Structure 1
Amino acid sequence: MGEIRAGQVPTEYVDAVVVGSGFGGSVATYRLADAGKQVVLMERGRSYGPGDFARSPSELSTAFWDPSEKLYGLFDAWTLRGLEGLVSSGLGGGSLIYANVLLRKDEKWFVNESPLPGGGYESWPIGYRDLEQHYQRVEDMIGVDRYPYQDTAKTNAFEQAAQAGGHTVFRPPLAVSFSTDADSPAQPGRMLPLADYGNLHGKPRTTCTLCGECDLGCNSGAKNTLDHNYLSAAAATGNADIRTLHEVRGFSRASDGSWLVRYVIHDPQHPSSTGDLPERLIRCAKLLLAAGTFGTSYLLLRNRMTLPGISPALGTRFSSNGDLLGLLFNASEQVEGRTVPRQLYGNRGPVITSTVRVADALDGNGATGRGYYLQDAGYPAFFNWLMELSQFREALPRAGKVAAKIIENRLFQRNRSSISADLAMALGPGRFSSTALPLLGMGRDVPDGRMYLREGRLAADWTLSTSQEFFESVRGAMRGIGDQLGAAFNDNPLWKAQRVVTVHPLGGAPIGANDQVGVCDPWSEVYGQPGLYVVDGAAMPGPVGPNPSLTIAAMADRACEHLLEQSWASPVVAAGSSLAGAAPEGGPVDAHTAQDPAAPVEPLNPRATSVAFTETMRGHFTLGVGEPASGLAQASLRHERMMFTLTITAKDIDRFTADPRHPASAEGFLDADVLGGHCPVLRGWFNLFVPDEQERRLMLYRLHVQSPGGRQLTMVGFKDIHDGPGVDLWPDTTTLFVQLLEGHVFPPAPEHPAASGLLAAEDPAVLGSGILYIEPLDFARQLTTFRAQGPRKVQALSAFGGLFLGSLYRSYLAPRRVRKNDHESA
């Protein structure tokens, strides 16, 4: 497919496009392909087979995802208000870096009408019985086992400490192959047989080598990641087209009901600015979003202008799933009446081997508070070196003693040629790392966070405050396990800054019983958007409690089962179909006032001199309000910002000054949170000091823009230049009243009486309104941007300045002089 052009209709059509390949996307791809549907899976990251994951410092330094910085790696790190997030970018999604646990959501934790601080409720419109068969289906497809070894130090220590503290402990189902088949004993490094559907990587896999590197990507292939099962099985059907390094940017619904998906292709071999990548287009009957909680929420927020009527719940019910990392150091035990270090060896085994479940008040067994899970957390062996190097105070004296011995040997000719013992002393016993154990907590935190866009980027309002009691309980349980192990409990460093690290972000497009409390219906279809589904963590209306991967996969399986029962009639492509599903190219046009964009334009004088300047304005704008002052008031409360940066160009200064409408062109961009962020100006008009019927002078703005999803819009605005009470020159020339109109609406014909360009607030074509301002610093920058091009640069700038200052004089100073003379005459 080539890049998108105006009026282009895509020739590529498939039954379904799935965006993202995590637990929702991989399940959906297989279920639909296995049913005979033609599916395209678009994954922004690369494919990683056994042996492809980074391990060396140089490899890990580039193992992050940020294409704008030429990074195309596995880890995608986010920083938001109140928390840090770490997610995956690769074929298989989060399964590539998660800790293998596949636990079902507790039956009694599917809450209904659980009040939230600040109003609203956490409500699950489905229950355990709705997911039970889907849980089983996913477990069978992925393949699960419980940790089989009985001699792992960290596992035994964690289980003994938990039991001594009164907890119930068990080994959870893990998506790891410990043995070659169900009848064989667990044994590390054994070759795994190939599944009937093959493996899309074409590389051998072995049983778990107990290296603790699960969270960095499994290089042995023992981890049953989604690329080894669901995606390989989908590819084997012949109906799934799996595309890596394909990143979806936008989508909209066409008039025939199909979905038009905009995407770009990354090329790590020839990296370029992400903004320069050409957008491509594909059309589908069903669109399934599975880009992860952050990715899917961002896509929906960015494209909401192409989703009219989408639920006001978009962005809500954000939760960290109660993720909390704790650290135990210097474990010890009593041996023959002496306190000695307890060796835990956290690098031995998979990351998680055992689990504690702490009861919830919902369980009805006398428990109080919100429930959670605790798990041991292993780590790769090289982390031991990092931990030992962090103990600088202990290492420095040891190094000093070794240096002293070497000097002593040289100075006094002791003839000691063996220094092995000295080097052993320098390294030290490694006690700090061998007696350390991280702990993971997760559970039912309060899902009252909200995600939104700020300057085109994903932002979130989430704090510890409403879940403080929950997190204190988790910390207390971790400290109790530490006490049983004779270990010191330490919070992770971010806790002191009242921040947590989440690897299980949830919410943003929650399912709900209706479109006021949920973005999606109980089957994961977006309310009011037929054929659009959310099948990942964004669809969770609250925390899952345990590790959420299995519940995400089960909900996706259930959604696809329902989806396959719906109509799949292929839309018919009509010649000249609109891309955006809103107004066709050109937008609604009033025949009496519109200027024909195809009308001939008087040719430009080749010796003309142009004048240009750049203007930036900022303010607030909201949708659903037609009157600018009211729009400003509501947008300010919601922190919904708008700004633009425009380069205004008078291409022929003589024609510009002679024409009473003083027309110029405008180029640049508009950026508004509620529009999805950056919207390029496709065509723009500017008029300076146009007199209107009320003897005012107006500065008129009209911009044809396109939202990220492809919807055509027009921003109209005016500055009202008139002499009112008080000193109002500055506010008049720096305040812009704006409306947003449906489609591309052209300016009135030159002979039409000048008007502000705004429509009546109740006009159905008005989508929203607000007010923008020039801030003093932006105004100072604007004064430095005036440029002239042509043979008469100085005269052109002078002519523009004369017109500007003369108009201000006639608007403000002249009327006051007339009033003063009239007063003196009286």
Structure 2
Amino acid sequence: MDTENREHIHAVVVGSGFGGSVAAFRLAEAGRSVVVLERGRAYPPGSFPRTPAEMSRNFWDPKAGIYGMFDVLNFRKLQAVTGSGLGGGSLLYAGVLLRKDEKWFVDEEPLPGGGYEDWPVTRADLEKHYDAVEKMLAPTPMPFDRPGYSETPKTIAMRDAARRMGAEWSLPPLGITFSAKPGLPPEPGTRIAEVEYKNLHGAVRRSCRMCGECNIGCNDGAKNSLDHTYLSAAKAKGAEIRTSSEVVRIAPRARGGYEVDYLVHDPDAGPAAFKHSKQLSCDVLVLGAGTFGTVGLLLRNRANFPGLSRALGTRFSGNGDVLGFMLRATEGGPRTLAASQGPVITSSIRFPDGLDGVAGQRGGYVQDAGFPLFVDWLVEGSRVSKLGARAARFVGDALAGSLSLSRSPHSGARLSSLLGCGLLSDTSMPLLAMGRERPEGRLSLRRGELDLRWRHESSRDYFTLAGARMRAIAESDGAEYRDNPMGRGGRVVTVHPLGGAPMAVTEHAGVCDPHGQVFGFPGLYIADGSVMPGSVGPNPSLTIAALADRLCDRMLETSRPASGQARARAEKAPPRPSTTSGLRFREKMVGTYALGGTRSQAFTLRLSVEIPDLDAFLADPKHRADVSGWVDCSTLGGRQVVQGTLELLTRHATPVGARMYYRLNTVGRDGEPRVILGCKDVQRRSAWGLWRDTTRMWVRVYRGTLGTVDYVHTRHRTARVRVRVRDLPRMVRTFQAFGPRRSRTIRRFLGFFAAQLLGVARQVPNDPDPDSPAFRLVRINAPWRKRR
């Protein structure tokens, strides 16, 4: 298609789930022109299918002419259920919005099959974005034991089991509205007050009626799904939303930006319907079509993206999802669970991980799972033998009555006997487990269709633990436990597919950087669960949305909408390749942090070093590079984000030798700013001495910020850290060049590094800079070096 015939938009967002909807709103809020392309249709309150005829077509399979909400994918070892419709997975999720545990953002955790699970972001990186998403989705725990709502039996059963087991129980925050407006007491079925940005459906919403229908679509509109929140807000800010629009082709444009081709479905026309094809072009393309949608789209269009990371398709996981059932609960008699009463999920039990200090454990959560009322009838009706016996008795009694053989004309007892007591459905409940499964699946194409290769034997310990935890909960409540019958033979059922386009520091380990931008393709972002480098642990929806919000901060900083005249000039001008070359690498240092006397604690620095322009770096006498990452120290409040600069092997601060200066801003436990100053003092020594000098660093932590702190008179703490030998191979693998002639960029940098060390070895003199704060730090630290 000729580019001139394409409609041009600043940003196209593919998909309307927890990533795409956040991106659409943030872009529209910033005044950018935005089009959201969603393959499914819109579902206003009251439109979700309920009858058997409607439910039979409520699945997604365009080849068969059905365009419903449930997209069920079957692979050899896994079955996945995802959503298709305006709002994506939020249409059928249970509303749980939990933050990822701080210690579960693992750092290069080895995987049994090779490689590492490595999160390039931290909880500290996401905190403000979690806050922003929660402000929009307004999560609140179920109003347990509050006026207007009763204590749901399944919630009590989970609480009692957790107490008996000594486990951590909670009422998780739910994206569900229980009252007319914030601050008012909860009241089932009351009309919800309209928000300032108006609802895009223009339909009345009512508060939760405790009907257990969250997972099949809330016809009351009580669930704060994305169509009622982010997408309505995006539309109010000017975003255009196109439903029944399935993207089939994406490609970079020669002069920047991207082309997008999509099909327009007609859900009422059946499989033989002609599908209209339309085209767009854009400056920014955000892929938020979910794990299978985004990865499948990139795989099918890989030929259009030369140089796309080989990590595409890797690090797939099902977030450790396991389904089980507790049956026939007893407590001195049948114990009512009433699974169809309340929201689908009301409570959560957290189990610790080895990262929390409990050796040999893989962390996870177990939650109660409700279902709609009609499932109770299906459960009782499925017991064919007992239903047949009751029906035979009823027919016999009715025949006796018609022949006047019965003494009483009343039939109530006979009808009651026909229906049965409903004991099985009343005392049974599903259980959902999720947690830190290892991400070792790989998605690929097979005959043009997605295929999953996943041998999750490496996570057998996790799955065994998950099953044991659910069994313990069931037995604690006097119930029998049954595994999911569909899980036999090692098969897993997941509603939380993650990975396939993992984020990482380098393109060798991931498809996109920690801000979601695809390596090598400026303006192409991924904002959905496919960017996860491993399992989230709890329900992943909130973390996906928080990462998308963080992505938008970087995207809005780096992308500016071009004016019509500028775009026209760009179309006429030949493409100009970038001439700037740079590189980035990652460094990890561990050591101890002195607290006075003999007391000390662990101190870890993990830093990403980026040189955006190697020529400028080499010409700069101080050889400055940008640094970001985190510091982990309990005195500082755990992991904290750091950002600053590194002067790499500068030779102006001492008569002989060279030094590396680290100047980093961070915050302390109290939220007040801190400065981390570090120095590696490289002197003429043996080869081993040079290695020790370049890998060991003295660090001081001051109160204040760079440029304002008084380094001489301000109180400080001291740490000593080093690069461990076992971390060196990982560090080497993180080296990544960008720009033209990447291999030459790496060679030039390594040549510079070697030349600087050689100059130190030959004792080439240089002039000190006594006014440098970092030099002052070295002078203060001189006695330490002598004690070596």
Q: Normalising by structure 1, report the TM-score.
A: 0.67
Distance 2:568 2:65 in 1: 38
Task: Look up the equivalent residue of 1:152 and give its one-letter code.
Answer: T
Aligned to 1:530: 522
* Aligned: 1:432 with 2:424: yes
* Aligned: 1:352 with 2:345: yes
Q: Which stretch of the first structure deviates more once superposed, 401-410 or 93-102?
A: 401-410
Distance 2:377 2:498 in 1: 34
Task: Look up the equivalent residue of 1:163 and give its one-letter code.
Answer: R
Distance 1:434 1:440 in 2: 18
Are the aligned partners of 1:9 and 1:578 in contact in 2 as well (CA < 8 Å)?
no
CA displacement 1:561-609 (0-9 Å, x = unmatched) = 1100003253635799899999xxxxxxxxxxxxxxxxxxxxxxxxxxx
Structure 2 unaligned segments of length 5 or more: list them.
146-150, 578-788
Distance 2:222 2:405 in 1: 55
Distance 1:131 1:115 in 2: 24
Decide whether aligned partners of structure 1 residues 116 and 333 sit closer, same or farther in structure 2, where only a CA change above 3 A counts.
same
* Aligned: 1:92 with 2:87: yes
**1:418 aligned counterpart, secondary structure:** coil
Are the aligned partners of 2:265 and 2:276 in contact in 1 as well (CA < 8 Å)?
no
Structure 1 unaligned segments of length 5 or more: list them.
335-339, 583-826
* Aligned: 1:42 with 2:37: yes
Aligned to 2:248: 249
Aligned to 2:221: 221
* Aligned: 1:28 with 2:28: no
Decide whether aligned partners of structure 1 residues 87 and 37 sit closer, same or farther in structure 2, where only a CA change above 3 A counts.
same
Are the aligned partners of 1:260 and 1:579 in contact in 2 as well (CA < 8 Å)?
no
Aligned to 1:52: 47
* Aligned: 1:392 with 2:384: yes
Task: Look up the equivalent residue of 1:346 and give its one-letter code.
Answer: A
Are the aligned partners of 1:254 and 1:581 in contact in 2 as well (CA < 8 Å)?
no
Query: How far 1:463 sits from its partner (Å)?
Result: 3.0
* Aligned: 1:362 with 2:355: yes
Decide whether aligned partners of structure 1 residues 258 and 382 sit closer, same or farther in structure 2, where only a CA change above 3 A counts.
same
* Aligned: 1:70 with 2:65: yes
Aligned to 1:648: none
Distance 2:193 2:438 in 1: 44
Are the aligned partners of 2:249 and 2:262 in contact in 1 as well (CA < 8 Å)?
yes
Are the aligned partners of 1:81 and 1:463 in contact in 2 as well (CA < 8 Å)?
no
Distance 2:200 2:443 in 1: 36
Decide whether aligned partners of structure 1 residues 415 and 71 sit closer, same or farther in structure 2, where only a CA change above 3 A counts.
same
Distance 1:462 1:430 in 2: 40
Distance 1:214 1:474 in 2: 24
Q: 2:435 aligns with which of 432, 443, 452?
A: 443
Distance 2:574 2:246 in 1: 19
Distance 2:196 2:401 in 1: 67
Distance 1:574 1:457 in 2: 41
Query: How far 1:521 sits from its partner (Å)?
Result: 0.4
CA displacement 1:458-498 (0-9 Å, x = unmatched) = 01011331211101101101111111111110011112132
Task: Look up the equivalent residue of 2:132 and give its one-letter code.
Answer: R
**1:207 aligned counterpart, secondary structure:** coil
Query: How far 1:391 sits from its partner (Å)?
Result: 1.5
* Aligned: 1:113 with 2:108: yes
Task: Look up the equivalent residue of 1:129 and give its one-letter code.
Answer: A
Distance 2:71 2:173 in 1: 26
Matches within 5 A, 1:318-333: 318-333=316-331
Q: CA RMSD in A?
A: 2.0
**2:249 aligned counterpart, secondary structure:** strand
Task: Look up the equivalent residue of 1:488 and give its one-letter code.
Answer: E
Q: 2:137 aligns with which of 105, 118, 142?
A: 142
**1:422 aligned counterpart, secondary structure:** helix
CA displacement 1:346-390 (0-9 Å, x = unmatched) = 0000000000000000012x3422100000001000000110012
Distance 2:576 2:74 in 1: 35
**2:12 aligned counterpart, secondary structure:** strand
Distance 1:530 1:120 in 2: 27
Aligned to 1:288: 286
Matches within 5 A, 1:660-809: none
Q: 2:481 aligns with which of 489, 492, 501?
A: 489
Matches within 5 A, 1:398-409: 398-409=390-401
Aligned to 1:720: none
Task: Look up the equivalent residue of 2:511 and give its one-letter code.
Answer: V
Decide whether aligned partners of structure 1 residues 403 and 245 sit closer, same or farther in structure 2, where only a CA change above 3 A counts.
same
Are the aligned partners of 2:255 and 2:571 in contact in 1 as well (CA < 8 Å)?
no
The structure with the largest alpha-carbon Rg is 1
**1:197 aligned counterpart, secondary structure:** coil
Aligned to 2:495: 503
Task: Look up the equivalent residue of 2:236 and give its one-letter code.
Answer: A
**1:558 aligned counterpart, secondary structure:** helix
Decide whether aligned partners of structure 1 residues 575 and 128 sit closer, same or farther in structure 2, where only a CA change above 3 A counts.
closer
* Aligned: 1:373 with 2:388: no
CA displacement 1:528-547 (0-9 Å, x = unmatched) = 11110000000101000000
**2:557 aligned counterpart, secondary structure:** coil
Decide whether aligned partners of structure 1 residues 575 and 156 sit closer, same or farther in structure 2, where only a CA change above 3 A counts.
closer
Distance 1:443 1:403 in 2: 51
Aligned to 1:132: 127
Q: 1:475 aligns with which of 454, 467, 471?
A: 467
Task: Look up the equivalent residue of 1:199 and give its one-letter code.
Answer: N
Decide whether aligned partners of structure 1 residues 434 and 32 sit closer, same or farther in structure 2, where only a CA change above 3 A counts.
same
Task: Look up the equivalent residue of 1:55 and give its one-letter code.
Answer: R
Distance 1:482 1:474 in 2: 13
Task: Look up the equivalent residue of 1:103 and give its one-letter code.
Answer: L
CA displacement 1:591-642 (0-9 Å, x = unmatched) = xxxxxxxxxxxxxxxxxxxxxxxxxxxxxxxxxxxxxxxxxxxxxxxxxxxx
Are the aligned partners of 1:254 and 1:579 in contact in 2 as well (CA < 8 Å)?
no
How many correspondences in the alignment?
569
Distance 1:387 1:444 in 2: 32
Distance 2:197 2:88 in 1: 20
Distance 1:415 1:577 in 2: 98
Aligned to 1:550: 542
**2:472 aligned counterpart, secondary structure:** helix
Matches within 5 A, 1:162-241: 162-238=162-238, 240-241=239-240
**2:241 aligned counterpart, secondary structure:** strand
Are the aligned partners of 1:345 and 1:434 in contact in 2 as well (CA < 8 Å)?
yes
Task: Look up the equivalent residue of 2:289 and give its one-letter code.
Answer: A
Q: Normalising by structure 2, report the TM-score.
A: 0.70
**1:9 aligned counterpart, secondary structure:** helix
Task: Look up the equivalent residue of 1:185 and give its one-letter code.
Answer: P
**How many percent identity over aligned positions?**
49
**1:552 aligned counterpart, secondary structure:** helix
Query: How far 1:12 sits from its partner (Å)?
Result: 1.1
Distance 2:576 2:548 in 1: 27
Decide whether aligned partners of structure 1 residues 499 and 578 sit closer, same or farther in structure 2, where only a CA change above 3 A counts.
farther
Matches within 5 A, 1:304-323: 304-323=302-321
Distance 1:396 1:11 in 2: 64
Query: How far 1:79 sits from its partner (Å)?
Result: 0.5
Decide whether aligned partners of structure 1 residues 141 and 486 sit closer, same or farther in structure 2, where only a CA change above 3 A counts.
same
Distance 1:467 1:520 in 2: 25
Decide whether aligned partners of structure 1 residues 437 and 38 sit closer, same or farther in structure 2, where only a CA change above 3 A counts.
same
* Aligned: 1:161 with 2:165: no
Distance 1:469 1:577 in 2: 60
Distance 2:211 2:237 in 1: 34
CA displacement 1:64-111 (0-9 Å, x = unmatched) = 111121111111110012110000010000000000000000000001
Query: How far 1:212 sits from its partner (Å)?
Result: 0.2
Are the aligned partners of 2:441 and 2:456 in contact in 1 as well (CA < 8 Å)?
no
Distance 1:306 1:427 in 2: 61
Task: Look up the equivalent residue of 1:434 and give its one-letter code.
Answer: D
Distance 1:306 1:544 in 2: 31
